[in-house]
Structure formats: structure tokens, C-alpha cells
Amino acid sequence: MNDSPGFRVQNPTTNEIAETFETIGDEEVEQTLSRAETAYRDWQAKSREERADVVRRVGELFTERRDDLAEIIAEEMGKPVNEGREEAEYCGEIFGYFADNGPRFAADQEIPTESEGKAYIQRLPIGVLLGIMPWNFPYYQVARFAAPNLVLGNAILLKHAEICPRSARAIQQIMDDAGIPEGVYNNVFITHDQASEIIGDPRVQGVSLTGSERAGSTVAATAGQHLKKAVLELGGSDPYIILDTDDVKEAAQTAWETRMYNTGQACDSNKRMIVAGEVYDEFVEELVSLASAMEPGDPRDESPQVYSPLSSRGAAEKLEQQVGKAVSEGATLHVGGKLRDDSSAYFSPAVITGITPGSETYYEELFGPVAVVYQADSDDDAVRLANDSRYGLGGCVFSTDSQRAQAVAQRLEVGMASVNVPGGEGAELPFGGVKNSGYGRELGPLGMDEFVNKRMYFVAS
């Protein structure tokens, strides 16, 4: 049974529901699937360049509408407005990147052969896809999935998070206004049960999900049952290793700003800070100072000392329980970690040390403004701590000696490793992980190599 409260705008600063949206019925699901299949046939028949021109306009509209888009998600899930504008602009870059490069990425590739003729690898669309997207980056997550697949010629059904209905509709409006043909991109307010039925429908050829491990496991099982391709971007507990630094205060500031981005609600955030013993105490002290200076405020307040609410009261309550459990298991809570005594989702930024290795909390993802710090006695110890996780999304290593940092980064069991920067970022850089962080890649050239028929094409002499 689906006991979700459904699609609604529920402002996390007050917990009040401003608007609700009905899920569509099974008959409308059927109509949408039929329309998408028909639209796919016409869309894939266009040239890659024709599709790219329309996709380019999608990106332009994201940039043009960035202020309105930011306001929508500030109310829906509490994202700071300045970060919402950045997110919309980044979507513009992503759609532009695939419009500019997608036709080349998908071009026929001749391969050497000793047979009498010519052989090629062709990258062709496969059909209608289902995207199941999360609330933490309501536009960016959709852009990563939609941009390459629209250029390829696939058609899309998009189930957004239930607390992001207005941003979901805003994306649909952008697609329509940019000239994406009716039926090629379809926002659908559906239940989890309906999503499962759609995955199993023979007209649907694949599913992409960004979300929790639990959701990923369920979707992967359904996709496997029906022999459908799946791409999963799930949780993360990324290691952020500081081997040495000439400026502990600056290192802590960078680590803190990284952790506080999107109020700590990013899959690839630096959820485990692993710090060399010689700078550990000073680093923790500086983090505590930074956290202590934070005050709750409206998402429209752009002061760096103001923090926004989490996405929902439920998310904040879960994080409070996790922090409380860590303390009960022996960890030290230096500052913060408190849920505001009202109905809002404000959770005071926290710094925790001494989480017991092997405890349940040690292996959990803390999705919010919590800096967890571990002390490393050596480079090998840092690697051991970093890899002692069921996740493997990203990780980074800092050192004044780049070669030393690179040697450690090469040993990280992650899908994305960075040196002397919190993380490489750009539409051209593939995103994805290993272990329980999922499989498949989005963005960059690899982003066009997932939902594609890599067809061998041979022409005899």
C-alpha cells in the first residue's frame, strides 16, 4: 500500500501545506504511455542536430527563469535562494553542454575490421524511459537525466519527489516552451505502485532513479524482473581527507562551507572528515566556532551565517534521532544537533567526533548539516577509514604535497576522486558511484552511454 501524504507544497519553515496535487489515475497513466511511445517514434526520427537545437533552448530558459525557479524550491524544500539560482544556471550549462556535444558523442564510430566491409558502432535511442527524481536538487537532478536522453532521441516520463510538484510543473513548462514535442517529456504525478507498473510496461525501456538505498533496491529489483536497464544514484558518505595544511583555519572554512551547501543535503557532501592528528584538534575547534556562529533564517537571507531548514520536519526529526544515537553510542557532540522547538524543519548545525567504528551510526549517511570528524594517524590510516564504508560515491584528499595527495586519492574506493578540491564539478565530468552508492553514470560523455543501443552496423564491400 502507498501511505504517502502525496504531492504537496509543504513549507519547511512552518510545516504548513500550501497546496496539494492529485495523482493521476491508471487510465491517464495508460494515455501518457501511449502518447510517449508515439511521440518517441517521431522524435527519434529527427536528426541529432535538430533535437540538440531544441535542447539548447531548454537550457536557455532555465537560465532566463532562474529567479522564479529559485523562489519555487525555496518554498518547497527550503533551498537558499542564492543556491537555487545557481542550480538553475547549472541546469542551463548542462542542457547547453549536451546540445553542443551530444551529436558528436552519439555519432557513428568506425571500428577496424579484417572482414570485407566497414563496421561501425552506432549509438541509438532505445525508447521511453522513466525518471524518478529526489527533492534535494529539484532541477539539477532532472537535467542530468533528461539532457543527454533528449538529445539521443529517447522520450521521458518523470516522477518527481512528492514535495516538489511546483518545480516539476515548472520544468514541464520549460520543456513545452522550448519546443519539446508533446509526449516526449511528460511530468507525471504518480504513486510508487504506479511507478512499478510503468517500469514493467513493455513500452518502457529503462529507469533512472536518484534516491535512497531502499528506493534503489526496490527499483532495481523491479527493473531486473522485467529485464529493464537501470541507472541508480543512491546515498553517499564521502570521505574528505586532510593530510596536512599550512592554514588550518582556511582548511576548516572550506570543509565547513562544503558541508553546509544545500544545508548538508547533498549525496556527495563531505560527510566524513578525516584529519591528520597534528592538525586535528585545531581543525575541530575551528569547525565548532563556525557552527556556533550559525543562526536560523529565511532561505531568502543570503548571509553566510544563516542556515535554512531541512527539506521537511520528518527529515529533521530523523537526523536528530541519528545524532542522538551516535552520542548514546559514545560520540561527542560539540555543538548543535538540536531540532527547533516548533513545527519547522530547522536543525542547528552540528560537529561530532568520536563516532565508534563498527557502530550502526558509523556506517549511516547523515543527510543534513552535521560535520563528522575522525582522526587519522597516517596516510594508510586515512585510507582505511575512508574505505570502511558501504558507500562509494565520491571522495577528496588535501595536502600541500600534490603527489602525496594523489597517491592517497588513487586508493579511494569511489566513483569520483578529487585532489586539493572538494570535488570536480562541471557538465563535462561524469557523476556516479560504486558499492551501495549505485551504478551507472550521468553527465559528461558517459552520460550519453547509458540508455543507448550500441548497435553494431556492418556494410559489406
211 vs 190: CA distance, rounded Å: 16
Grid cell 549505485 — which residue?
438
Spacing of C-alpha 41 from chain mean position: 30
Strand partners, 185: 156
Spacing of C-alpha 140 from chain mean position: 8
Q: Of the residues 164, 267, 286, 442, which is catalytic?
A: 267
Determine whether 233 is an active site residue.
yes
List CB contacts of 134: < 8 A, sequence separation 6 or more.
141, 161, 210, 211
Residue 118 half-sphere exposure toward CB, CA atoms < 13 A: 5
363 vs 387: CA distance, rounded Å: 11
Q: Euclidean distance between the first and final Cα of the chain, in Å?
A: 59
Give the residue from 92, 129, 97, 310 showing the smallest Cα distance to 209: 129
Neighbours of 296 (CB within 10 A): 16
Q: Of the residues 76, 87, 162, 233, which is catalytic?
A: 233
Catalytic positions:
233, 267
